[in-house]
Amino acid sequence: MTIIAYILLDLLAGALIGLISIGGGAIIVPALVFLFGLSQQMAQGTTIALMVPPIDMLAAWTYYQKGYVDVKIAAPGLPGVRA
């Protein structure tokens, strides 16, 4: 059920980003913190890993190495953000 919630968040964020032309981090980071209980650093690292491949893999890799990426959230969301 949690994976479905993450995918729904990604789809909602993608729709809002397209409608009002804001950065996805403005939606996804607060949602991961307040709705899913991630720390600020984990939410930021996960969002970077989710949104920027292959543009900024170095930043995502750095967050991942420090333990600030939740792969189970970032991986399923890639198709929604890339669409």
pLDDT of residue 30: 93
Give φ, ψ of 82 to 5 degrees: -75, -15
With 0.95 as the threshold, say if the pTM is over it: no
DSSP 59: H
Domain that holds residue 64: 2-82
In whole angstroms, give the CA distance from residue 36 to residue 40. Answer: 11
pLDDT-based confidence at residue 79 (cuts at 50, 70, 90): low
In whole angstroms, give the CA distance from residue 1 to residue 62. Answer: 29
pLDDT of residue 55: 61
**Residues 16-65: pLDDT tens digits?**
877 887 777 888 899 999 999 999 999 999 888 877 655 667 777 888 99
**Does pLDDT of 76 surpass 70?**
yes
Number of folded domains that form the chain: 1
